[in-house]
Amino acid sequence: MDNPYVFITRKVPEETIQAIREVADVKMWDHEDKPVPRDILLEEAEQASGLYTMLTDQIDRELLNRAKILKVVGNLAVGYDNIDLDAATEHNVIVTNTPDVLTDTTADLAFALLMAAARRVTEAERYIADGKWVNWSPLLLAGHDIHHKKIGIVGMGRIGETVAKRATGFEMDIQYHNRSRNERAEQELGAKYVSFDELIETSDFVVNLTPLTPETTGMFNGEVFSKMKKNAIFVNAGRGGSVVEDDLVKALEQKELAGAGLDVFEKEPIQKDHPLMKLPNVVCLPHIGSSSIETRMEMCRLTSRNIRNVLLGEKPETPVNWNR
């Protein structure tokens, strides 16, 4: 009997896919920084039992209708808004993701964005690089304190809770908004549950960590930004689609916000001439929330184990739609 076939849509370290090679023939798209073209992805899906995918790969109904023998889609991310989950379930395709293993790393990055935006770190680096530092003055590139300020976390899941844990080290006043109460964060970290409106109106730092859903799409818009404190910092390490970027640009230009730290954007990758890139009070990163060597290697290994388990008829470690 022929082995099942698995297509990997981006180049990943060979040592992380041994679990798949034990049970399947594997083909890897051999371009680390270039997404697989749509037509090739469709062709590969037609003959694959497993797909090892990235957030940039659209696993939609069209693809799933053509993927007659597909059993599993292993997504190398905690999010899976690139996958039509209903269509996958209808086609008996198991979808997996990589939660938990990236929680601490992403929380580190979210807090780094908060600190960099508040203390104008990248702006200060550019100040030196541009040859502008010729003297010292008392308020040179003065930013905003982080300690003892109020942080408002929108999306108190695993990552949100871990960001809150880091905030305790800065003796911050922690409040959050979520679809449901996180009693552990309240009891262990002193986090306070508040309404969305109260959070945006009273927080010194607003940190978005929500997944992208119909309810969260565009939730941070001009009306919301206008209600924030004039000296507030907005941080987005969740999903770019939850922010109306034109409204954010306008709010920053009109000094309705003090600054922003962004790891995700409406359309990725953004270009160097994007309006957000031109604002001195904005820190922009290329979606590297979970990008530490240790975490990305473990994400790759977990994705491989998930695909292997499904191909063997076993339950994957982190299924999304196993019981749907």
Residue 322 in any domain: the answer is no
Q: Percent of the chain at pLDDT above 70?
A: 99
Tell me whether residue 91 is one of the annotated catalytic residues.
Answer: no
Tell me: do 112 and 211 sit in the same domain: yes
Report pTM: 0.92
Q: Are residues 159 and 276 in the same domain?
A: yes
Report the CATH number at residue 261: 3.40.50.720
91, 201, 287, 317: the active-site residue: 287
Task: Extract the residue ranges of the chain whose pLDDT is less than 70.
Answer: 1, 324
Residue 1, pLDDT score: 52
Residues 36 and 120 in one domain: no
Tens digit of each residue's pLDDT (9 = 90 or more) over 133-157 = 999 999 999 999 999 999 999 999 9
In a domain, 320, yes or no: no
Print the domain residue range for 236.
103-284
Residue 38 appears among annotated catalytic residues: no
The pLDDT score that the predictor gives to residue 324 is: 64
Residues 231 and 273 reside in one and the same domain? yes
2 close to 23: Cβ distance less than 8 angstroms: no
Q: Is residue 107 part of a domain?
A: yes
Does 239 qualify as catalytic in the annotation? Answer: yes
pLDDT for 322 equals: 86
Round to whole Å and give the CA distance between 167 and 163.
Answer: 6
Of the candidates 171, 268, 294, 324, the residue annotated as catalytic is 268
Both 145 and 218 in a single domain?
A: yes
One domain for residues 176 and 230: yes
Token pair listed for 134: 């010729």
Phi, psi of 84 (to 5 degrees): -80, 95
Secondary structure of 48-59 as H, E, C letters: CCEEEECCCCCE
Please tell me whether residues 242 and 115 are part of one structural domain. Answer: yes
| Dihedral (Cα; 49, 294, 123, 278), 10-degree rounding | -10
Query: How big is the chain, counted in residues?
Result: 324
Q: Which of the following is catalytic: 239, 296, 301, 305? A: 239
